[in-house]
């Protein structure tokens, strides 16, 4: 993806500077005597698609949980845009009470590695946040469920009544994404979205992630996508900004093309089975 194309997808003029959606400043996190993050600095701009990768233990999952407030940093700060305030200023998660945190979370969605689906039907799972977070009436919920079911390539009549316990891995992932986008999030975070899927299903989910990222609602809202992944095909097909963590630090942060061209002995193994074009 070229810089010009990226800017257009972000709803910006080429060369314009987008606002920050996430800023991580000198972030540290340990568990007991194990130091996981060792001074992470990272800024993600509104409208970007950013993929974070690294070997097991590199800190990528810990970083995701710090961004969502599930973990508290030992040092440094996590700042996220507050889209309910004028100008969507960045706010430090550590300064927020539960009400303030809920205010931020109204504009997030997380697609968990294990999908996080509840018992019941596909419809029930997607409808849940529309009732609990957006307080929509049943007619509004039905309309919105139908829209997001179609958006992820499912069928309202056939798939919405299905029990989630009977879904294939690819179908379950589509439902998890549909539930996430039902609340019209500005920031969507994915935790290993193609993990455990066969190549064909993984490609389908990659296409859904791309379509969700570039979709604009009636207000023209620009969406930011943050993806923790080990999927080389996802990187090659979607060409996101690529961040590599190694031993708790940022080893690389740049375009996918620069990532492909890196001669780092740590990065090269990621590229061994990735197409060159």
Q: What is the CATH number of the domain that holds 40?
A: 3.40.50.300
Domain count, the chain: 2
Say whether both 119 and 225 belong to one domain: no
- Work out the pLDDT band at 11, boundaries 50, 70, 90: very low
Q: What is the per-residue pLDDT for 198?
A: 85
State whether the Cα torsion 152-158-161-164 is positive or negative.
negative
- Work out the pLDDT band at 54, boundaries 50, 70, 90: confident
Say whether both 191 and 260 belong to one domain: yes
- Work out the pLDDT band at 120, boundaries 50, 70, 90: confident
User: Span 13-24, mean pLDDT?
Assistant: 74
Q: Is residue 143 part of a domain?
A: yes
Say whether both 26 and 160 belong to one domain: no
- Residue for token pair 């970007």: 48
Residue 47, domain extent? 3-7+21-107+185-271
Say whether both 119 and 210 belong to one domain: no
Say whether both 238 and 139 belong to one domain: no
Number of other residues whose CB lies within 10 A of the CB of residue 85: 11
Say whether both 220 and 84 belong to one domain: yes
Say whether both 97 and 123 belong to one domain: no
Q: What is the per-residue pLDDT for 221?
A: 77
The structure's pTM equals 0.86
Angle at 147 between CA 189 and CA 237, to 5 degrees: 45
Q: Which residues on adjacent β-strands are paired with residue 20? A: 45
* Res. 192: pLDDT tops 60: yes
- At 126-142, the pLDDT tens digits run 998 888 777 788 899 99
Concatenated DSSP letters of the chain: --HHHHHHHTT--TT--PPEEEEEEEEEEEETTEEEEEEEEEEEETT-EEEEE--TTSSHHHHHHHHTTSS--SEEEEEEE-TTSTT--EEEGGG--HHHHHHHHTTEEEE-TT--PPSSBHHHHHHHHHHHTS---HHHHHHHHHHHHHHTT--HHHHTTSBGGG--HHHHHHHHHHHHHTT--SEEEEESTTTT--HHHHHHHHHHHHHHHH---TT-PPPEEEEE---HHHHHHH--EEEEEETTEEEEEE-HHHHHH---TTTHHHHTTS---
- Which residues are CB-neighbours of 171 under 8 A, at least 6 positions away? 154, 159, 162
- Work out the pLDDT band at 17, boundaries 50, 70, 90: low
Question: Which region among 16-20, 39-43, 153-157 has the lowest average model confidence (pLDDT)?
Answer: 16-20
* Res. 58: pLDDT tops 50: yes
């Amino acid at each position: 993806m070229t810089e010009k194309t990226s800017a257009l997808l972000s709803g910006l003029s080429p060369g314009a500077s987008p606002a920050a959606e996430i800023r991580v400043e000198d972030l540290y996190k340990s568990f007991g005597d194990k130091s996981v993050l060792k001074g992470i600095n990272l800024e993600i701009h509104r409208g970007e698609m950013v993929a974070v990768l690294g070997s097991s233990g590199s800190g990528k999952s810990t970083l995701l949980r710090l961004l969502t407030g599930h973990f508290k940093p030992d040092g440094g700060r996590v700042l996220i845009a507050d889209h309910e305030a004028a100008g969507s200023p960045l706010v430090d998660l550590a300064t927020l009470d539960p009400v303030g945190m809920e205010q931020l979370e109204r504009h997030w969605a997380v697609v968990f590695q294990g999908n996080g689906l509840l018992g019941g039907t596909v419809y029930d799972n997607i409808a849940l946040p529309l009732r609990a977070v957006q307080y929509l009436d049943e007619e509004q919920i039905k309309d919105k469920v139908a829209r997001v079911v179609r958006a992820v390539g499912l069928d309202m009549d056939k798939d919405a009544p299905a029990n989630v316990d009977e879904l294939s891995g690819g179908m379950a992932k589509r439902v998890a994404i549909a539930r996430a986008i039902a609340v019209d999030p500005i920031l969507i975070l994915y935790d290993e979205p193609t993990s455990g899927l066969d190549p064909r299903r993984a490609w389908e989910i990659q296409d859904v992630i791309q379509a969700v990222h570039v979709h604009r609602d009636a207000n023209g809202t620009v969406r930011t996508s943050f993806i923790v992944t080990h999927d080389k095909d996802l990187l090659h097909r979607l060409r996101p900004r690529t961040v590599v963590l190694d031993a708790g630090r940022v080893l690389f942060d740049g375009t996918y093309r620069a990532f492909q061209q890196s001669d780092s002995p740590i990065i090269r193994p990621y590229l061994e089975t990735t197409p060159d074009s």
